[in-house]
Structure 1
């Protein structure tokens, strides 16, 4: 099976943005090991023979397609300072944050169609820190694309949703950690726009490493790739909501978009 030329061009553009992101992260002293975790994704995007198997319809099996693309990134870790945050236990001042993502999709021309950017998205943030009693504490966030066709639960499932916990909390190793008196449940699932690695890392840095985030935002190259990522992921999400409300308003807009979503570039 040969890759579609338009899809390959699209994938090369994604690879180029990830390579630029690596350069930018190196300039703000992010650990080299974390930066190198991006290499596998770049390799997959550049490989013409890599056509991930994708479930294009809930009634279909997963199949490879000339239009399919995807990548995964694991092992991206940064150290974060918690000393200025509201937290428990208060004795944890530093922690490590691991960000991982696995995604795939079907290429389409955005000038001809506004559609869901992904067929699969799993996005995990796991924060671990030690208290003075040498107990290890864990906090986990999970963003994913709801798997359509699975047995439905009673709770609502926005197609893209954030939740505290997620499957990471159910991992065997995490079951051994100390959660104190906290109660962790699946609900609610907070509706959220989808994110690829670039938009996702921007989200992570803006919330957990704001000093690094502000340094990166001074570089116009960083702003350029963030805008590109947001056009791929946030734009179709918002366009779909706007269409639902038949949005066409010639009135002056006094509600600033960056107040609604500070990460917008």
Structure 2
């Protein structure tokens, strides 16, 4: 419970920072049930196969919303406002936190972008963890980003001149809700992102979760070209490669 309480405390801190810095533009109420579940010793998240384990932690976030504030070059041109909607599921082993092992068992980070104009438009993408060996010809990076141009699952979506196929699956680093806030705001609400970067609590949370989640990912990648040493790292600054690093 101490581990789960720490994750709940971190989400509570982020919720408070979002409320103070961004205000009513984000619905932090979507985090309340998540925080309560993490603090409930009777709640154990269920895995895809239906099993449970007291050493597994995780959460489901339902309909977290924030404004779409990057409407430059938007098409169709009648769109006047937009919204970003996040639904996500995370399952992980407690013992793999802050190690060099893969921190997650399951991850589904599903984003839908809604634009409102003369009618409502949608597109989406997901970042998830590929589990198992699917019978497919396409490579599946274990963590990947994939676009979805029918996020409402309409039986007859209006795709216009769009050509939609199931690929590509673009290699992407793993992401939880805390790191995901940096990802979403930097891309879709940059004014909020700049304000958040000025908050000490937000920066510390980002540093802690980058250490726990991204460090093993990038160390594993870098090990492909071993040995690697600090003296060999001349491509800088790191923010040119990944702007949401803190």
Do the structures match in fold with TM over 0.5?
Answer: yes
Equivalent position of 1:4 in the other structure: none
Q: Does 1:98 align with 2:85?
A: yes
* Counterpart selection for 2:14 from 18, 21, 30: 21
Provide TM-score, normalisation by structure 1: 0.85
Find the aligned partners of 2:96 and 2:140 in 1 and give their Cα distance: 28
Find the aligned partners of 2:66 and 2:137 in 1 and give their Cα distance: 37
Find the aligned partners of 1:33 and 1:250 in 2 and give their Cα distance: 40
Find the aligned partners of 1:127 and 1:255 in 2 and give their Cα distance: 34
* Counterpart selection for 2:113 from 127, 135, 138: 127
Deviations 1:178-225 (A, max 9, x none): 332112222110000000001011100000000011111101110001
Equivalent position of 2:24 in the other structure: 31
Any conservation in 2 of the 1:82–1:92 contact (CA below 8 Å)?
Answer: no
Q: Does 1:259 align with 2:243?
A: no
Specify the SS of the correspondent of 1:255. Answer: coil
Provide TM-score, normalisation by structure 2: 0.91
Equivalent position of 1:5 in the other structure: none
Q: Does 1:165 align with 2:148?
A: yes
Equivalent position of 2:161 in the other structure: 181
* Counterpart selection for 1:146 from 130, 133, 155: 130
Any conservation in 2 of the 1:165–1:185 contact (CA below 8 Å)?
Answer: no
Q: Which has the higher contact order (CA 8 A, sep 6+)?
A: 2
Find the aligned partners of 1:33 and 1:217 in 2 and give their Cα distance: 17
User: 1:170, CA displacement in angstroms?
Assistant: 5.9
- When residues 33 and 247 of structure 1 are mapped into structure 2, their CA distance, relative to the original with a 3 A threshold, is same
Find the aligned partners of 1:81 and 1:202 in 2 and give their Cα distance: 14
Equivalent position of 2:54 in the other structure: 66
* Counterpart selection for 2:76 from 48, 71, 89: 89
- When residues 196 and 170 of structure 1 are mapped into structure 2, their CA distance, relative to the original with a 3 A threshold, is closer
Q: Which structure 1 residue ranges, 5 or more long, are not aligned?
A: 1-7, 56-60
- When residues 247 and 177 of structure 1 are mapped into structure 2, their CA distance, relative to the original with a 3 A threshold, is same
Q: Does 1:156 align with 2:136?
A: no
Runs of 4+ in structure 1 over 6 Å off? none
Find the aligned partners of 1:229 and 1:116 in 2 and give their Cα distance: 13
- When residues 250 and 101 of structure 1 are mapped into structure 2, their CA distance, relative to the original with a 3 A threshold, is closer
Deviations 1:21-60 (A, max 9, x none): 11111112443871010011111211122222347xxxxx
- When residues 152 and 171 of structure 1 are mapped into structure 2, their CA distance, relative to the original with a 3 A threshold, is farther
Deviations 1:43-86 (A, max 9, x none): 1211122222347xxxxx553223110101111111223432x3
Find the aligned partners of 1:35 and 1:198 in 2 and give their Cα distance: 12
